[in-house]
């Protein structure tokens, strides 16, 4: 009986280590959002970071998020539209007052810990995936109503 429990513990330890290795391998190319008041304040004051390219997601008259991407990274998506510098203030205003919740600012952090961009939205979760220096962002659009 004692030998059986020792074998079970060994298998459970091995299984836990295997699961941890799989999770680490799968999450290796994902970044994260690191929230900071300074980013929210910068957007509220219509301050653009020099060199960053800005994009919005959602409808032009009611965007759901705005991102600014560091020029060291590539970004393109059919779900995000470029914002020209002269329309930045208008797009930020269209997020305010927030229709769906409070607006938050965050840094986009790469898997290796670099700041890859900035985020401004009432949506507090996003999938930020990196393929080399290419950023792919997807998140639930709050304007989409689910049925059922």
For residue range 20-52, what is the model confidence (pLDDT) as tens digits?
Answer: 444 444 445 899 999 989 999 999 999 999 999
Whether 46 is covered by a domain: the verdict is: yes
Range of the domain at 71: 31-138
Residue 146 lies in a domain: no
Residues 38 and 94 in one domain: yes
Residue 27 and residue 91: Cα distance in Å, rounded?
Answer: 32
For the chain, what is the domain count? 2
Average of per-residue pLDDT values in the chain: 80
Check if the beta carbon of residue 57 is closer than 8 Å to that of residue 64. yes
Co-location of 16 and 38 in the same domain: no
Burial (Cβ within 10 Å: 0-12, 13-18, ≥19) of residue 48: middle
Within-domain flag for 148: no
How far apart (Å, rounded) are the C-alpha atoms in residues 90 and 133?
29
Mean pLDDT calculated for residue range 102-113: 92
Rounded distance between C-alpha atoms, residue 43 and residue 23, angstroms: 35
């Amino acid at each position: 009986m004692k030998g059986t429990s020792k074998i079970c513990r060994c298998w459970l330890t091995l299984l836990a280590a295997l699961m941890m290795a799989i999770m680490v391998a799968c999450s290796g190319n994902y970044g994260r959002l690191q929230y900071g008041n300074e980013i929210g304040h910068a957007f509220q004051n219509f301050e653009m970071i020099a060199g960053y390219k800005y994009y919005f997601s959602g409808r032009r008259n009611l965007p759901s998020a705005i991102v600014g991407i560091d020029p060291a990274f590539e970004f393109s998506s059919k779900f995000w539209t470029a914002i020209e510098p002269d329309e930045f203030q208008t797009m930020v205003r269209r997020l305010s007052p927030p229709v769906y919740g409070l607006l938050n600012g965050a840094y986009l952090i790469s898997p290796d810990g670099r700041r890859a961009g900035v985020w401004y939205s009432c949506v507090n979760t996003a999938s930020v995936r990196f393929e080399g220096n290419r950023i792919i962002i997807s998140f639930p659009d709050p304007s989409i109503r689910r049925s059922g």
